[in-house]
A and B are shown apart, each in its own frame.
Chain A
Amino acid sequence: MSKGLEVVDLHVNVHGKKVLKGVTLNVGYGTIHAIMGPNGSGKSTLAYTIMGREGYEVERGDIRLDGESILDLPTEERALKGLFMALQDPPQIPGVRLTTLMIAALNKRQGSSDLTRVRDPKIVRRMYSLAEELGLSRDLLQREINVGFSGGEKKRSELLQALILEPRIIILDEPDSGLDVDGVRKVSEYLVNLKEQGRGVMLITHYARMFKYVKPDMVTVLIDGRVAVQGGPELADLVEERGYAYIRRRYVEGKDSTI
């Protein structure tokens, strides 16, 4: 049985439009798998489909976690099995504080019916300590989810949740957008930590600037909903140097699948 996340020949329609046209890739535990590609290549669609978002219809293929198909599971079941997605632009949710969300999500994982009760004060201390390390204020933790957060605060808040919930597979959709250089470095450090803890990381990004601080074990470039090429960290360097137009010419139009 394979360990980690497997995406097998995935074909996906979104609102009747075919977006993914046969994507196959793996995210193993203790590895970072970077998904790169130009706008509209299907990177976010891949992430949403893995999480089971409504409207993302799997026409063909499979998604497996530790060898078991999760296609029939609703989003929350996938999350409870250990998948986590840090959204590119997470929504504002008035009425629910960030701390409440994290405590409720933890309680749900521990099978508690009382979602808002703090069962272990150590968790709250850990939240504050990690928030401080990530450069988030205590005040922000008490605010409603993403209400009035800056772009950088949203990214850090998403990462904080990943650190608190300790998922097995973490999908990060452009965690570097909206961050300054220091922010990118900080987020990268935590991605390396997550990998070292044995978690699988799927890192979706347009740019290779994060790879100055975090070396991916595997890189997949998506173009037009298909895997254009897969390889090691050197592929990210090639994208950075030559751009997606070159990748398209060489690997899509030239039908060359080796670097």
Chain B
Amino acid sequence: MSAQARERYKSLIDQLPFQYLADTPTVRYYTDWSVFESRMDKGYAYNEHPLPPQLARHNPNILLGTALRLSNLPSQVEVIDISREESPVEPMSLVGVTTKMHAYHAYMWTTGAYIRVNPGEEASLVVASTGGDGYLGHHIILEIGRGARLDLKLLDYAGSSDALKTLVVEVIAREDSRLDATYLTLHHPSHAVYKILHARLYEGAQVEARGLTAGGAMTRYEETYILEGRRSRLDARASNVARSSTKTDFLLNAIHRGPESEGFISARGVVLTNGYLAQRGLAKIDAEAQWASSEVESHVTILGEPARGYAIPMLEIHSGDVVKANHEASVTTIQEDHVFYMRSRGLSREELEKLMITGIIEYSGAAGKLGLEPTDIF
């Protein structure tokens, strides 16, 4: 990124708002921007948090901390350290720079990687990003070549520190490529993380994504898929856990632009003790996306007091020719009839809660793929 571009982003930090419009008349912002605001002037981290054993055993091929480190990189994959060299794809070109946190990340990020899976190749890759005792910003651009297949594990970790991390991942899935992605977002309750994953799917590209998120002091995580090409397909499932004293604003979006594109986005969340979870999802079918089909669902279970949880699925349809467009949502607490039902099977209320937590953690399939037990994220 040129010095000139960086300077432009610096000036935008003060000019742009965290967000333009209030989210709802009752809940103004689902993200507590004040947590980010209070940490934006922290200096850069000198250290990085080591990955905990349950993540380190996946032996990341690409590790972003205070610097970029590569290990046993598969031959089908090329990596460029974009904090030192020019990136073939301009950082933030997919996401855009329209808000204060976009500008902050664009100006501040320190470590970045452009990753390319060569056309027609097949590869498996583990990429990890870790936090530090100060600001760390990571930028990843992942390009999956035409007809290539990638099995990706993306581990986003931030340890104990009242620090700030930003992570932006821009994915370009070229024609007829396949991405099988497993995401883990594990932030210590003291850490604040601003995270974006933005993917663009070209004609015939397919993405199957499963994520598990346990956020920190404030984790804002926006995962957006633009189904740009004809017959591009997305199946994205998420499990979210808002542990005690944590706040997570999770957004999972599918934007259909390609005709006959298919999208399914689904999230399950559980909120514990005094945790907070906003679980949002937007399925948008643009006018040019004729005969697209899209489903969005969001279910949140609240366990504990004064936990707060919101499930907000939205459908926006601009095309008259749609194959399917569904949405469903619920926010539930444990009801007496749930407890009676489980007790009539021999299980106590506490055991019901444990089963619910385990079930929601395992819902997306990410925990299973990463070999994680529910205790690994508490």
Residues of A that sit less than 8 Å from B by CB: 48, 51, 53-55, 74-76, 79-80, 84-85, 87, 90-91, 93-97, 100-101, 104-105, 108-109, 115-116, 144-145, 161, 165
Contact = CB atoms under 8 A, between A and B. Distances in A.
A95 B345 contact: no
B343 A95 contact: no
A93 B349 CA distance: 13
B301 A94 contact: yes
B356 A53 contact: no
A18 to B, nearest CB: 21
27 contacts: A53-B340, A76-B343, A76-B346, A76-B347, A76-B348, A79-B346, A80-B346, A84-B345, A85-B344, A90-B341, A94-B299, A94-B301, A94-B360, A95-B270, A95-B355, A95-B360, A95-B363, A96-B352, A96-B356, A97-B359, A100-B358, A100-B359, A101-B342, A101-B347, A105-B346, A108-B351, A115-B347
B346 A54 contact: no
Would you list the 3 A-B pairs with minimal beta carbon distance, nearest first? Answer: A75-B343, A95-B359, A79-B346
A95 B268 contact: yes
Q: State the majority secondary structure of interface residues on A.
A: mixed
Interface of B: 268, 270, 299, 301, 330, 332, 335-338, 340-348, 351-352, 354-360, 363
A105 B343 CA distance: 10
Interface centre among A95, A108, A145, A165 (most CB of B within 10 A): A95
A101 B338 CA distance: 12
A135 to B, nearest CB: 22
Contacts of A105: 345-347
A101 B340 contact: no
B338 A91 contact: yes
Contacts of A95: 268, 270, 299, 301, 355-357, 359-360, 363
A109 B347 CA distance: 10
A115 B354 contact: yes
Given A76-B347, A90-B341, 4 more contacts: A76-B343, A95-B356, A100-B358, A101-B342
Given A53-B340, A93-B341, A116 B358 contact: yes
B47 to A, nearest CB: 37
B358 A54 contact: no
Contacts of B337: 91
B238 to A, nearest CB: 14
B9 to A, nearest CB: 42
Contacts of A53: 340
